Structure 1
Amino acid sequence: MTSFILFLRSTLITFMALVVVACSSVNNEKVIEEEVYEIEDVVQTNVAVYFCDDKLLNVYFHGEQAKLIWENKTHLLNHAVSASGSSFLGESLSFVIQNEKAVLSTKSAKEIQCRLLQVDS
């Protein structure tokens, strides 16, 4: 009888451990899906127009991301933590905003000074 109780106890513990593991992995996937959904669900996009290197630059801010077109290429940038102003980083560009001025940095380490002309919400 004692061995049967030990068998039931170990089976119950194993079953509970499997339930905990299964539930935690399902919850992780659900959280990731909800985060993606929240990003896609952002309705408002703000557009800022900058004057950079004698060219107009439209920057579309959508949630924690910025989209800009520079030299006929579309660049998607992600918001990064910054001590002052706002920084947006991408694979080949970065865009740092401080008040009405900004700096567009390219992969070739070229820094282009920009100034804000207009903001539309």
Structure 2
Amino acid sequence: MLASFELAGHVIGLIINRDLTGETVDEIIAECDKKIRNFDSLNIFIELERGHEVTLKGLLKGINYKYSNSDYFDKIAIVTDSRSFQIAVDLSDTFLDVETRTYELKDRLEALQWISL
């Protein structure tokens, strides 16, 4: 299940309680596309709950979307205990002008505070 919430108008909050597959990324993209129409730039908070992983297809689809739409994103916070997902996010953002930070689940409040500014 993908749960979404708003912290502020320009901030999308998403909590994912299943593996991050290509289909899940399609749902995230749909949420982002709805907001892109209304704001010049977005901040995104994505939390992948404990015990869930990212498929290669999901990772590649997410990276492609992020690169194709990077002009619309200001900050992205990824909250997960999946070390491989954190490393993949950090590596994929090397060439983007989007401020991205990864957090462990225990630090979700810090991530929420940072993404809300």
TM (norm. structure 2) is: 0.26
Indicate the structure (1 or 2) with the bigger Cα radius of gyration.
1
Q: Specify which structure has the bigger relative contact order, considering alpha-carbon pairs within 8 angstroms and separated by 6 or more residues.
A: 2
Q: Larger strand proportion, structure 1 or 2?
A: 1
Q: Larger helix proportion, structure 1 or 2?
A: 2
